[in-house]
Structure 1
Amino acid sequence: MNRCSHELREPRRAVTAVIARVMALAALLLSGCASLPGDVERVASAALPASVQTTIGRVAAASAPLPPASGFRLMHSGPLALDARLELIERAERSLDVQYYHIQNDATGRRFMRGLRDAAVRGVRVRLLIDDLYTAGEDELLLGLLAHGNAEVRLFNPFAARGIGLISRFAASLHEFDRVQRRMHNKLFIADGALAIAGGRNIGDEYYWQSQTSVFFDLDVLLAGPVVDEMAGLFDRYWNSPHAYPAQALLRSGLAPPALRERFVVLAGDAVAPRLALPEVD
């Protein structure tokens, strides 16, 4: 019995060794031909200041303490944290600056992306900065957002190899592993330069208690006052960084803008964001 088990293990080891060699060779070949574009045009931009001409600006001005103090409210509830983001997206009139490590391709992520699309359509300037680690397979969704106008998307510290899965991305980046292992974990959301949400939540079902299988308990804070200006400045530093690449410089699709807009509707779905009453004074 022992001899038989030993004889069975030997072929497995041989097959494993062959697979390892093939993967190493593939990674070597991929790493030799994948590189980021060197002539990328980045148009610098800055956060728009808060204004009492907007609904969110008036709410922030009425709710925040007198300067130089800032106001904040902790949000431990997942559903409340989601509704707050969706409501701010819907109420935004001038700008949305959005920075996340991960926007999942699930019901929550698609609802969030659809909200950004709707904001851009009604004339809100949308700047979406997302880490490139989990963007594989999302080219048409991101390009579809861009195709609506008023929206910009940048990928932070992107992988040179596109159109492949996460493991293959790392395999193709062995020659620059020190670079690609540095990821952007920031999670920041600023509406009309007046109200901001920061904390530990990415955009996905588990973070907002929408999943039937798992729940992440985390914490966000809703902020108003001078601290929002400081956070907007931090967003601008990342947005204008040489490590942030415009999505259109990296992502590819054979579809023209009208077709991309139609494709976005298919990919993002038709989920309607729930409304959360936003009083004039908190």
Structure 2
Amino acid sequence: MTLSKFKTACTLVLIALVTGCAQPYPVVEDSFEASWVSNDYQAQAYLIPTADEAFARRVDLVRNANTSIDMTYFSWDKNTLGLMLLDELKQAADRGVKVRLTLDDLLVFNEKWLAELDQHQNIQIKIFNPFNSRKIGWFGRVFDYAGNQQQLDNRLHEKYFNADHQSMILGGRNIGDEYFGFSKEANFFDMDTLFSGDIIEPFADNYELLWESEYVTPIHDLISIKDNKAFQNFDKAYAKASNKNPETIAVIERSIARLSKPEALSVQVTPVFDSLNKLHDNKPYFRTRAEQTISEYLDNAETAIISTPYVVPSDGEFKTIDRLTNKDTKVTLITNSSASNDSGFIPAYYEKHRTTLLKKGVNLLEYKDDAINEDHYYHADTYYHNKTLILDSKLTYIGSSNFDPRSDNLNIEFGVFIHSTEFAKQIEHYLLNKKEELYWQVSLNAEDKPVWQSADTVTTKNPNYSKMHKATDWMFRKMNSESEL
């Protein structure tokens, strides 16, 4: 999601919370999901090493697809990369590939350029948990959300790309310039993994459950368009973006031309999926299943690396971190600094959680708002968006969950645990090989006040986080809306 869109989305939530209230945490019985059993699969896993290759791999998979492409995303932007990938999908559909796309509705309005593609005989687009308001922008969404919060709070947060049931990409990236380093305004530091092998089957089954469910609606039932075989709105939008950013298109084509066979690792993997029952009871299906899957690791780990863009406790507690630190596990937490966070809400609450976590003995790394990622083509504002967990450099999580209350109780999430020391070390290198350049090391001084350090720079002032934020932070905290974040 672009920075401007995210701020608008935050405004939507802010107004809705003012007119309504944050949903309470659900009551979860001790036996909840006790009978759920995980299954292991074999796979080949390839950590995609750069942002531009992550996009190039998707285009390459589309160009080489023979039968089908299934996708799920939280957001798909109408910018150069978003339109380019859709054009590639349209070309694949022209040669007979069956294309299915499921999108969350939070950022879909009256998008005729998108709905046009659904007219193609080989393209189907469905929208998850749609809003009633569509034609009057965010103003209508605010009132729709305020009046139907319990229904509309649940969003689809999965990121899934499956070509021919032979190759699958999972990770944190949505589709748009900013997720692949091509935005001139702001980019995300993110991560994707390419999978093949038996692991694709359970993810394909999970996709079918969502696709056939009552919770997704064909886009043509929501957005009215004239019979338009020429795809006029879409072609016009893509031509405009291409003409405005020819350099971006050229760079991507060069990245595609340089692709070689992925050097994948043979690994054992354990998938974990959410339940659509969450839309009725808001219970933490994914979180509970994930913790059951790795319970033995959590109880015996000597080291843990937790990576999330948004640090928010569940019901006021960091239960998993406490579970680890109580057994003297060395916990490293990587997250956004206050200044690098793309959410206006999170820093307000994180201000107090930072000190709490440091007192627990957590090794805290905060992403710099001026960090330079070498694989980003444009260097603008930058935000941390990686979601992973690494235990004892042996077990790694790759998926969509941010490990926050919204991921636990409101969003539909999934992920996979990868049992491989070599893969875990690759992820650690991906996150930490530029530690001095990308992160602040945060600790407590003798007065239990946070201290930020990077190389020779040491400061007790929250880096690049101005006093202007104090008033808005105070207001957000008064709203008591952490369960919605």
State TM-score, norm by structure 2: 0.42
| Bigger share in helix | 1
For the Cα contact (< 8 Å) 1:161–1:172, is it kept in 2? yes
- Structure 1 residues 112-121 or 269-278, which shifts more? 269-278
Superposition map of 1:42-61 within 5 A: none
1:184 aligned to 2:140?
no
Q: Which residue of 2 aligns with 1:128?
A: 101
Q: Which residue of 2 aligns with 1:100?
A: 73
The one-letter amino acid paired with 2:124 is: E
1:154 aligned to 2:154?
no
**Unaligned residue ranges in structure 1 (runs of 5+):** 1-22, 28-66
Q: 1:245 aligns with which of 200, 213, 217?
A: 217
- Structure 1 residues 123-132 or 109-118, which shifts more? 109-118
For the Cα contact (< 8 Å) 2:110–2:223, is it kept in 1? no
Superposition map of 1:66-77 within 5 A: 69-77=42-50
Q: Which residue of 2 aligns with 1:58?
A: none
Q: Deviations over 1:191-210 (max 9, x none)?
A: 00110001000001111000
- Structure 1 residues 188-197 or 266-275, which shifts more? 266-275
Distance change in 2, residues 1:76/1:183 (3 Å): farther
Between Structure 1 and Structure 2, how many residues are aligned?
216
Q: 2:234 aligns with which of 234, 241, 264?
A: 264
Distance across 2 between alignment mates of 1:276 and 1:236: 33
Identity %: 31
How far apart are 1:116 and its partner, in Å?
Answer: 1.3
Superposition map of 1:217-256 within 5 A: 217-253=189-225, 255-256=226-227
Q: Which residue of 2 aligns with 1:91?
A: 64
Distance change in 2, residues 1:215/1:194 (3 Å): same
Distance across 2 between alignment mates of 1:221 and 1:175: 39
Q: Which residue of 1 aligns with 2:172?
A: 200
Distance across 2 between alignment mates of 1:221 and 1:237: 23
The one-letter amino acid paired with 2:234 is: F
The one-letter amino acid paired with 1:204 is: G
How far apart are 1:164 and its partner, in Å?
Answer: 2.0
Instruction: Give the structure, 1 or 2, with the largest relative contact order (CA under 8 Å, sep 6 or more).
Output: 1
For the Cα contact (< 8 Å) 1:87–1:276, is it kept in 2? no
Distance across 1 between alignment mates of 2:87 and 2:222: 22
SS at match of 2:99: strand
Distance change in 2, residues 1:281/1:144 (3 Å): same
| Bigger share in strand | 2
The one-letter amino acid paired with 2:129 is: N
Q: Which residue of 1 aligns with 2:54?
A: 81
Q: Deviations over 1:64-111 (max 9, x none)?
A: xxx952110112411010000111111111000011000011111111
For the Cα contact (< 8 Å) 2:115–2:223, is it kept in 1? yes
Distance across 1 between alignment mates of 2:193 and 2:148: 36
SS at match of 2:186: coil
Q: Which residue of 1 aligns with 2:359?
A: none
State TM-score, norm by structure 1: 0.71
Distance change in 2, residues 1:214/1:200 (3 Å): same
SS at match of 1:141: helix
Q: Deviations over 1:248-279 (max 9, x none)?
A: 111112x22325x2332112327466234565
SS at match of 1:130: strand
Distance change in 2, residues 1:148/1:277 (3 Å): farther
How far apart are 1:227 and its partner, in Å?
Answer: 0.4
**Unaligned residue ranges in structure 2 (runs of 5+):** 1-14, 20-39, 243-248, 264-485
Superposition map of 1:28-47 within 5 A: none
How far apart are 1:237 and its partner, in Å?
Answer: 1.5
SS at match of 1:193: coil
Distance across 2 between alignment mates of 1:175 and 1:228: 39
SS at match of 1:190: strand
